[in-house]
Structure 1
Amino acid sequence: MGLTSDKVLALAVLAALGLFVGTVWLWPRLARRGPRAVAGRVGLLLATQLALFASVGLLANQAFGFYASWADLFGQEKDQGVVVDHVPAGGPLRVAETRRVPGATSAGPQRGGRIEKVDIVGRTTRIATPAYVYLPPEYFQPEYRTRTFPAAVVLTGYPGTAQALVDKLDYPRTAARLVGEGRMEPMILVMMRPTVAPPRDTECVDIPGGPQTETFFASDLPEAVSGHYRVGGDPGSWGIIGDSTGGYCALKLAMHHPRVYAAGAGLSAYYKAPIDATTGDLFRGDEELRNRANLWWYLAHMPAPDTSLLVSSSKVGESNYKDTLKFIERVKATGLTRISSIVLESGGHNFNTWRREIPGTLQWLSGRLDGR
């Protein structure tokens, strides 16, 4: 059973309850003095605490999508997914499975849309990674058969799971609801992790001698998706959204590649790539690369990109609040790059906060893209 399985969570909760009841029941027998009684009390208390800790940890992981599997949790995920020697049959994008949209009232794609799990291999970077593609109902309706659609890349944080974008953050269901209410145009969503070379956090950087992650997102990914789906070919057809690490990536990619991404939204984003145990040495002494990855430096030293940006934060609960206000002022000073924001009164760095920001973000993005 997988780490995110409901059965695993249920077993952990039942074990915790059973040990609690057992401790209460056996405590009188173990109240005596002596090594065996003391060892019994310690063992029961320790086992109960461990079961409670496991239950809370599993519940938090299901809610926030920190780890996708046992191997991911214990740092044993070794599948780098970077270098391959072939393109899979059917081109750089292959559909692995299809599923209905959570909450859809109809199983038919013409009324409920469809989610496709795909495997993507970058033509130039050779990066291989899975993703989920949401196709709106209009994509399958006869009256739209010749129409192309705008597309948005949707990124998790680190480590994150692409599945959480579907099941926990409700991107497809939210997009379908907003279209039904007339608040946004139908849009294709490409949902994935920015961690395309797990377990390393590449921060969407072209690492010297390593994964060329920025090139993958700026070139290979749009090319692969556009070659398989009816996505608009104009520069204004693509946008990008992300939270936390994905938010930093979204802002950076929109700023670095405005002719690819006409708009980028960073939810709870930061503005400079960190260097820590999860990233390793991202820049290998390349000062130009380090500077480009620093959005503060980019705004001060590079021509203002002709793109639209959205940033979000909370007055209470988010550590990026002051930086976000400063970033807004820096972007406004460029005179060309457009900036919008969502600032909540309170909200932590978590799924609940982002779910409150996603409807407004999708509506904002829809107003800045044109897939025709």
Structure 2
Amino acid sequence: MGLTSKKVLILAVVIAVALFIVTIWLWPRLSGRNWRTVLGRVGLLLVTQISLFAAVGLFANNSFGFYASWADLFGQEQEPGVVTTYKTGPDGTQLQTLGSERFSIRGAGRPDVAGRIDKVLIRGEQSHITSPAFVYLPPQYFQRAHAHRTFPAAVVLTGYPGTAEALYKKLHFPQTQHDLHKHGKMQPTVLVMMRPTVAPPRDTECVDVPGGPQTETFFTKDLRRDIAGHYRVGPDAKSWGVMGDSTGGYCALKMTMRHPESFSSAVALSGSYKAPLDATTGALFGGDKQLERENNLLWRQQHLPAPKASFLVTSSKQGEGNYRDTLKFIKGTKSPSQVASIILDSGGHNFNTWRREIPAAMEWLGGRLKV
């Protein structure tokens, strides 16, 4: 049974409850002061506490999508199979479709009604990174009236470590777009949903690490090329946006600021404004202080020319640690860049807060992408 299986969660809860009952029942019998009864009490408390923490941890993981599998949890993630050859498109792009995913929209069995989510493997020719992604194709993509239509696209990123499945199972990005379009608030857009952790378990913060994973190149060049070569998506920056939460939000802002030739618009849900340097990231900049400064978004605003791009940032007056930096980012934005914000009175760094922001954020993003 998988880490995110409901059966695993139910089993963990049952075990925790059972051990609690056993502890209450056996406690009077272990009230003596000899070493056996003392060890018995310690053992009961230990296993009960572990079972309780396991149940709470599994519930939190199922709710917020931190880890997708046991291998992911223990830093030993393994994708199904080892892909060494790829289907090559007529323009040289390399992308392998692994199948379609189930999702909750009425009429989900009919792509021309609900759209379709493809699971794909993207192989970066320049970055030499291979990573899975989930591509949502809106219903119009399959409708005869739009058979020759080219669509805009948005890369949607999780935080770190995150699971890409959470983007459509928990945060409901495809479902939200479907509802917005139905009410005339968003144009049909192809969503490329994935996590920024394309070199697991390392948190690369979408940086081209000197001597390491070329993550920025993967997102700004390889991914766009492969998706546009395989699907009817506009190839130019005006057709592409990027949106993310937490680490994904930082990536969205940073990649659009550094590569306006790749992305024209960015949305950061509770995003940070510089990359952390810790055990999960390692030496991201290889000791290159200038590269480190260039990846600090507030520094870029003060010292480098502003790109021609649009940015939407979100925060909360209470509950978010990025509130002050968000205000600095808004104030520091210079023409020709444009900036907008969603500032809540309160809201934590979690899925519930982002669900409140996603509909307005997607409507904003959809209004800026052109084909």
SS of residue in 2 equivalent to 1:162 = coil
**For the residues of structure 1 that align with 2:178 and 2:43, how far apart are their CA atoms?**
52
Pair 1:231-2:233 in alignment: yes
> After the TM superposition, which of the residue ranges 321-330 and 39-48 deviates more from structure 2?
39-48
1:40 equivalent in structure 2: 40
SS of residue in 2 equivalent to 1:242 = strand
Q: What is the one-letter code of the residue matched to 2:41?
A: R
Pair 1:52-2:52 in alignment: yes
1:197 equivalent in structure 2: 199
Q: CA deviation at 1:53?
A: 0.7
| 1:18-37 alignment runs, 5 A limit | 18-37=18-37
Q: What is the one-letter code of the residue matched to 2:9?
A: L
1:257 equivalent in structure 2: 259
Q: What is the one-letter code of the residue matched to 1:263?
A: S
SS of residue in 2 equivalent to 1:27 = helix
Q: CA deviation at 1:38?
A: 2.8
Q: What is the one-letter code of the residue matched to 1:180?
A: K
1:3 equivalent in structure 2: 3
Q: CA deviation at 1:106?
A: 3.9
The TM-score normalised by the length of structure 1 is: 0.94
> After the TM superposition, which of the residue ranges 165-174 and 310-319 deviates more from structure 2?
165-174
1:182 equivalent in structure 2: 184
Q: Deviations over 1:244-269 (max 9, x none)?
A: 11100000111111122110011111
**For the residues of structure 2 that align with 1:45 and 1:211, how far apart are their CA atoms?**
45
Say if 2:86 and 2:96, in contact at 8 Å, map to a contact too: no
The TM-score normalised by the length of structure 2 is: 0.94
Q: Deviations over 1:123-174 (max 9, x none)?
A: 2111100000011111111101011111000001111111111111111111
**For the residues of structure 2 that align with 1:337 and 1:143, how far apart are their CA atoms?**
36
> After the TM superposition, which of the residue ranges 286-295 and 182-191 deviates more from structure 2?
286-295
Instruction: Select which of 117, 120, 123 maps to 1:121.
Output: 123
Distance 1:141 1:343, change over 3 A: same
Say if 1:104 and 1:173, in contact at 8 Å, map to a contact too: no
Q: CA deviation at 1:335?
A: 2.3
Say if 1:101 and 1:112, in contact at 8 Å, map to a contact too: no
2:103 equivalent in structure 1: 101
Distance 1:7 1:370, change over 3 A: same
Distance 1:279 1:224, change over 3 A: same
SS of residue in 2 equivalent to 1:303 = coil
Question: Could you list the runs of 5+ residues in structure 1 that have no partner in the other structure?
Answer: none
> After the TM superposition, which of the residue ranges 296-305 and 242-251 deviates more from structure 2?
296-305
Q: Deviations over 1:342-361 (max 9, x none)?
A: 00110111111111111111
1:112 equivalent in structure 2: 114
**For the residues of structure 2 that align with 1:179 and 1:347, how far apart are their CA atoms?**
27
Say if 1:101 and 1:113, in contact at 8 Å, map to a contact too: no
Pair 1:206-2:203 in alignment: no
Instruction: Select which of 171, 174, 183 maps to 2:173.
Output: 171
Q: CA deviation at 1:207?
A: 1.2
Q: What is the one-letter code of the residue matched to 1:299?
A: Q
Q: Deviations over 1:322-363 (max 9, x none)?
A: 1100110000xx121000000011011111111111111100
Instruction: Select which of 141, 144, 160 maps to 2:146.
Output: 144
Say if 2:96 and 2:121, in contact at 8 Å, map to a contact too: yes
Q: Aligned-pair RMSD on alpha carbons?
A: 1.9
Distance 1:174 1:183, change over 3 A: same
Q: CA deviation at 1:23?
A: 1.8
Distance 1:137 1:202, change over 3 A: same
Q: What is the one-letter code of the residue matched to 1:178?
A: L
Say if 1:153 and 1:240, in contact at 8 Å, map to a contact too: yes
Q: Which runs of 4+ in 1 moved over 6 A?
A: none
Say if 2:118 and 2:134, in contact at 8 Å, map to a contact too: yes
Say if 2:108 and 2:116, in contact at 8 Å, map to a contact too: no
Q: CA deviation at 1:231?
A: 0.5
Q: CA deviation at 1:88?
A: 4.6
**For the residues of structure 2 that align with 1:236 and 1:264, how far apart are their CA atoms?**
12
Instruction: Select which of 267, 270, 274 maps to 2:269.
Output: 267
Q: Deviations over 1:191-242 (max 9, x none)?
A: 0011111111111111111111111111111100000111123431000001
Q: What is the one-letter code of the residue matched to 2:73?
A: L
Say if 1:78 and 1:199, in contact at 8 Å, map to a contact too: no
The share of aligned pairs that are identical, in percent, is 60
Say if 1:84 and 1:128, in contact at 8 Å, map to a contact too: no
1:68 equivalent in structure 2: 68
Q: What is the one-letter code of the residue matched to 1:56?
A: V
**For the residues of structure 2 that align with 1:240 and 1:201, how far apart are their CA atoms?**
18
